[in-house]
């Protein structure tokens, strides 16, 4: 592929002195420039890394910004220096940088504004993924689909991605998380730009680096943020920026379903404590409100899925 674009790679660096040189050595020639953002690493940065690629700029952050904050710092540099595409690569050598060409191609061809890795299309590699991580990623991916509105994309937390700089300029960086929620919050911002996201199949690579994010912490960290992202998206998409048939489904279906569930639970508790059967009318009221409310919400979900940004 002939490179007529300024393609930058942003590498958030933290305690990866054993791997950073290897990462830079493996970068393809189509990369124009590399920004290494040292996020207050406690390990000494190897000077050899600055000669490992043709055009490397090392930036030392004064504060520990987190992986998202460090990446955003690299984004700003790429915007300032007139880059066309930015690729985010981790410093731990767990990303196969030979796939950079596959990531940037749909952007160069204007088929997408954002391209990311998808580890779940490679069944051979998927079998090698640790079971707990596999289940966690599957569950998290589904919840992220609902929260961000990108129902057609999978493995949304994959940190190996490419994005157009013109698209970056339209984003509110303050609304993008500095730490573990970085990729999800970035995708959530892309939704309101109607950006097309392209999934690129690639294998998962697990080296000797251990994640600082333990599995049991993930639900407590991500779930509240996902709920907040979901509510904000629904309010903006269906009540502030637009009002359509799905808005009516939500307005009617939510109170009906909520009333049916809570009224049903209350009556179940009340009549059970009295050891008597609930009146037929009460049972019918609970049943109908739950069924009708659920059907309306199901229609709203269906509409939301069809509304997901996708290529024409």
- In order of 155, 200, 204, 276, 304, the CA distances from 121 in angstroms are 10, 9, 10, 55, 24
Position 222 scores a pLDDT of: 85
Tell me how far apart the 2 most distant CA atoms of the chain are, in Å. 81
Give the integer Cα–Cα distance in Å for 35 and 201.
25
Per-residue confidence (pLDDT) for residue 2, from 0 to 100 = 43
State how far the Cα of 225 lies from the Cα of 217, in Å rounded to an integer: 13
Q: Is 39 within 8 Å of 66 (Cβ atoms)?
A: yes
Token readout for 100 is 């950079």
Report pLDDT digits (tens) over 248-272. Answer: 999 999 999 999 999 999 999 999 9
Is residue 4 predicted with pLDDT exceeding 70? no
Given a contact cutoff of 8 angstroms between Cβ atoms, the answer to whether 177 and 68 are in contact is yes
* pLDDT score of 137: 73
Whole-number average pLDDT of the chain: 90
Residue 5, pLDDT score:
76
For residue 218, give both structure tokens: 């993930």
| Tokens at 270, concatenated | 């009340």
Is the predicted pLDDT of residue 16 greater than 80, yes or no?
Answer: yes
> What tens digit of pLDDT does each residue of 87-135 get?
999 999 999 999 999 999 999 999 999 999 988 776 666 676 667 777 7
Whole-model pTM?
0.88
- Of 159, 7, 136, 155, residue with least CA distance to 68: 159
Angle, helices 66-80 vs 182-191, to 10°: value is: 50
Rounded mean pLDDT, 184-189: 96
- Report residue 218's pLDDT band, with 50, 70 and 90 as the boundaries: low
Instruction: In whole angstroms, give the CA distance from residue 57 to residue 77.
Output: 10
pLDDT of residue 131: 72
Q: How does strand 161-164 pair with strand 85-88?
A: antiparallel
What's the pLDDT score for residue 216?
56
* Higher per-residue pLDDT: 246 or 3: 246
SS3 content of the chain, % helix, strand, coil (to 5): 50, 10, 35
Give pLDDT, residue 280.
Answer: 93
- Exposure string of 254-293, with b = 16+ CB inside 10 Å and e = fewer, is eebbeebeeebeebeeeeeeeeeebeeebeebbeebbeeb
Question: How confident is residue 155, by pLDDT bands cut at 50, 70 and 90?
Answer: confident
Mean pLDDT of 143-156: 91
Would you say 83 and 6 are in contact if contact means Cβ atoms under 8 Å apart? yes
Q: Are 159 and 66 in contact (CB under 8 A)?
A: no
Report the pLDDT value the prediction gives residue 207, as an integer from 0 to 100: 57
**How many other CB atoms are there within 10 angstroms of residue 224's CB atom?**
10
Percentage of the chain surpassing pLDDT 70?
90
Summarize the confidence of residues 275-286 as an average pLDDT: 92
Alpha helices in the chain (DSSP H): 20-25, 66-80, 100-108, 123-128, 131-148, 165-168, 182-191, 218-235, 245-273, 280-306
Region 44-69: what's the mean pLDDT? 93
Q: What is the mean pLDDT of residues 204-231?
A: 72
Using the predicted structure, report yes or no on whether residue 34 has a pLDDT greater than 50. yes
> Lowest mean pLDDT: which of 4-8, 29-33, 85-89, 149-153?
4-8
So what's the pLDDT on residue 244?
95
pLDDT at 213 over 70: no
Give the mean pLDDT of 225-239: 96
Per-residue confidence (pLDDT) for residue 140, from 0 to 100: 83
Query: Would the pLDDT of 52 be above 70?
Result: yes
């Amino acid at each position: 592929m002939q490179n007529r674009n300024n393609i930058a790679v942003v590498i958030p660096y933290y305690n990866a002195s054993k791997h950073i040189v290897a990462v830079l050595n493996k970068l393809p020639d189509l990369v124009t420039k590399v920004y290494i953002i040292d996020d207050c690493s406690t390990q000494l940065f190897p000077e050899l890394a600055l000669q490992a690629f043709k055009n490397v700029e090392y930036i030392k952050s004064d504060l520990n910004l987190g992986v998202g904050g460090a990446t955003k710092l690299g984004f700003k540099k790429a915007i300032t220096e007139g880059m066309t595409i930015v690729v985010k690569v981790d410093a731990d050598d767990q990303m196969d940088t030979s796939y950079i060409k596959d990531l940037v191609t749909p952007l160069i061809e204007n088929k997408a504004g954002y391209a990311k890795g998808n580890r779940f299309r490679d069944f051979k590699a998927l079998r090698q993924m640790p079971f707990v991580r596999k289940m966690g990623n599957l569950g998290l991916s589904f919840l992220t689909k609902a929260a961000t509105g990108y129902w057609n994309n999978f493995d949304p937390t994959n940190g190996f991605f490419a994005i157009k700089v013109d698209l970056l300029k339209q984003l509110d960086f303050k609304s993008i998380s500095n730490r573990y929620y970085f990729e999800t919050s970035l995708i959530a911002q892309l939704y309101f730009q109607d950006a097309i996201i392209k999934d690129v199949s690639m294998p998962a690579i697990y080296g000797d680096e251990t994640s600082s994010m333990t599995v049991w912490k993930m639900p407590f960290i991500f779930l509240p943020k996902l709920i907040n992202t979901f509510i904000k998206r629904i309010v903006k998409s269906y009540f502030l920026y637009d009002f359509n048939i799905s808005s009516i489904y939500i307005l009617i279906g939510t109170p009906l379903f909520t009333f049916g569930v809570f009224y049903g639970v209350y009556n179940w508790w009340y009549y059970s404590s009295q050891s008597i059967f609930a009146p037929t009318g009460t049972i019918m009221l609970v049943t109908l409100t739950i069924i009708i409310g659920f059907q309306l919400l199901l229609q709203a979900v269906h509409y939301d899925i069809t509304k997901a940004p996708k290529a024409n």
